[in-house]
Amino acid sequence: MIQRIQTVYMLLVAFAAGLLPFWLALWTDAAGAPVYASGELWISLAFYASALLALLAIVRFKVRQHQFVMNRLNILLNLFLLGSFVIRTLNLSGETVVSQKGIGLLIPVFSIVFLALANKAIKRDEELVKSVDRLR
């Protein structure tokens, strides 16, 4: 159901995780070259998995519990990505020139926020359906 707000949130996550990491630099290395998600295989696979989970959750609109669980798994995947980015940026020792962080490091943060909003909307829909069933 594309008219639901959680679908819009999940589409934003799919767009952010599927396209933005390959356009926006995650960080710049010591040489000044920007590092994108396509430069490292495991980062690109994690972003693609996040986008795929969001799209699968959209397709499963009839079973709200499955949507909720898929969004939770997607939140865990984005937390893993965010944690690995933090560890990577903190362990860049030995550089003579300090590397810069790019705006692409915030993509998992935005994804987590939109997924949490989608889960809140899914829970609200589930409560609405349960309240209507009580009236019958």
Q: Going residue by residue through the chain, which has 136 residues, state the pLDDT in tens, using 9 for 90 and above.
A: 578 899 999 999 999 999 999 898 888 777 778 888 888 899 999 999 999 999 999 999 888 899 999 999 999 999 999 999 888 877 765 555 556 777 888 999 999 999 999 999 999 988 988 888 776 6
Helices within 1-136 (DSSP H only): 5-18, 41-59, 64-90, 107-135
pTM of the model: 0.87
pLDDT computed for residue 97 by the predictor: 56
Taking residue 79's Cβ as centre, other Cβ atoms within 10 Å add up to: 14
